[in-house]
Structure 1
């Protein structure tokens, strides 16, 4: 079982000295991947319901520092050499896909092929409004943007014509290092997100999932794979738990999980952050091994 760490980019985890300490310690102590999420905009009193908590509220204060995940992971890539990197997740419909394709490929090149792009459709209508992007049809927009990005990664020159984006005979370089493609992970816990993972992505990232719900979510993912002629074993399955313990890892592996992602907020100083990572590794990786 791989163990990832979702701890960069927010609050104390947005400080460069803490990012360096967390990233280097995570690599040294055997974490498989560093994850970094995104919100461009937060508001003090959102009407939109946060889908990853029982009370519908996001735990991050609206005035907290929250770094751009591609930039934060580029910094992490520069201070590491082996650990993998992933957005968890980039809110794709909020961005121009031509620009994201270039940024993601750039990070892949700078990290020597260690980057996977995790994508989601977003949940905050207030955020979409602030960015001038329609909240409606964001799922369709996400799917089309992903198709456009894959076209840009694999073709040169590249052309695409869709409902939301079109371009003709353009060159966007560099290309990702793995044969003109990047691994794509679809985030979200809904049936629609699982369908997107099964049909369009290379993996699924479930966030803040109760350990007891993991088998049923994976069963939906497997059913969607079967329905669309996809081998379930082709997908990576990463899950950040809302509860549970290292003792649950064998059962999660049997259910089909390939990576458990530990989510946490690091301490505010580099030495304390490095010790914190070491203690997490001792708990989640050493016991599991």
Structure 2
């Protein structure tokens, strides 16, 4: 199967105000991208002390003093501006939010967009962000699993009562609009626990690599861990999607294109690239050629 090509729509920095989130999404859809994605942070500290899990040295080097527009709001704007492309988060730090309210917001976008929503959800890594929202950083992974279960209940429209260490969901509720299908939830993260979670409770795994350090072998091995967790949970491993967020790909889509067929053979179903600093139409042509090689 040919690898699908998604694009990151900037919801931080100067681009959202300079070009508009909706207008950017519409332009990328018109070019032909299969999916459009936004990222998430609620607050950022002036100095990041937490270990950044996607860098070898554990250090986040990007600036924190830039506007970061809320991703659910951005998705709503993108849904109104587009008609075809899937819309997703890569990733949403779900444990920071109330799960019933989040389920309502996401169901509204999914129904109004015509079933186009895909949620990449992660447990989070930035302790300072959890502290700012008075959410315990400990057991955030278990909280994420409970949040996913609660949201899926809410998306039925008539959620069953639930009781856990993290949340009490009472009986006899209506959560409308109900979605016409469970919104796909891709679980983010690369730790063994995150890979197990993706296979056990996720509809897919949302991975991340840098464009200059693409490693299909690492992805293949991780995908096997996800598949094993799915089998252990009595689920079909073939139904678990793998979506790869490729950071550092702006202006470097030729590097991605050269490895895309190999990534597909490693089990990647879809990639998300940065295209705003390049030529989005040219980049998509390069990527499609690479996927077909």
Flag whether TM exceeds 0.5 (same fold): yes
Counterpart residue number, 1:282: 285
Counterpart residue number, 2:47: 45
Residue 209 (structure 2) pairs with residue 204 (structure 1) = no
Instruction: Show structure 2 runs of 5+ residues with no match.
Output: 249-254
- Structure 1: 4+ residue segments shifted above 6 A: none
Residue 291 of structure 2: SS of its match in structure 1? coil
Aligned counterparts, 1:18-57, within 5 A: 18-57=20-59
- 1:255, 1:91 → 2: CA distance? 27
Cα distance change on mapping 1:157 and 1:24 into 2, 3 Å: closer
- 1:77, 1:57 → 2: CA distance? 34
Contact 1:92 1:121 in 2 (8 A): yes
Decide which moves more: 17-26 or 68-77.
17-26
Counterpart residue number, 1:226: 231
Counterpart residue number, 1:126: 128
Counterpart residue number, 1:188: 189
Contact 2:104 2:176 in 1 (8 A): yes
Counterpart residue number, 2:240: 235
Counterpart residue number, 2:152: 150
Counterpart residue number, 1:74: 76
- 2:14, 2:267 → 1: CA distance? 33
Task: Choose the corresponding residue for 2:262, options 251, 266, 269.
Answer: 251
Contact 2:157 2:178 in 1 (8 A): no
- 2:194, 2:159 → 1: CA distance? 31
Residue 119 of structure 2: SS of its match in structure 1? strand
Aligned-CA RMSD value: 1.9
- 1:45, 1:195 → 2: CA distance? 31
Shift of 1:208: 2.4
Cα distance change on mapping 1:12 and 1:281 into 2, 3 Å: farther
Shift of 1:35: 1.1
Shift of 1:236: 1.1
- 1:236, 1:81 → 2: CA distance? 23
Residue 74 of structure 1: SS of its match in structure 2? helix
The higher relative CO (CA closer than 8 Å, separation ≥ 6) is in 1
Residue 164 of structure 1: SS of its match in structure 2? coil
- 2:153, 2:237 → 1: CA distance? 24
- 2:167, 2:180 → 1: CA distance? 25
- 1:279, 1:158 → 2: CA distance? 49
TM-score w.r.t. structure 1 length? 0.90
- 1:286, 1:250 → 2: CA distance? 9
Instruction: Show structure 1 runs of 5+ residues with no match.
Output: 268-274
Shift of 1:97: 0.4
Contact 2:153 2:159 in 1 (8 A): no
Contact 1:184 1:203 in 2 (8 A): yes
TM-score w.r.t. structure 2 length? 0.89
- 1:154, 1:6 → 2: CA distance? 29
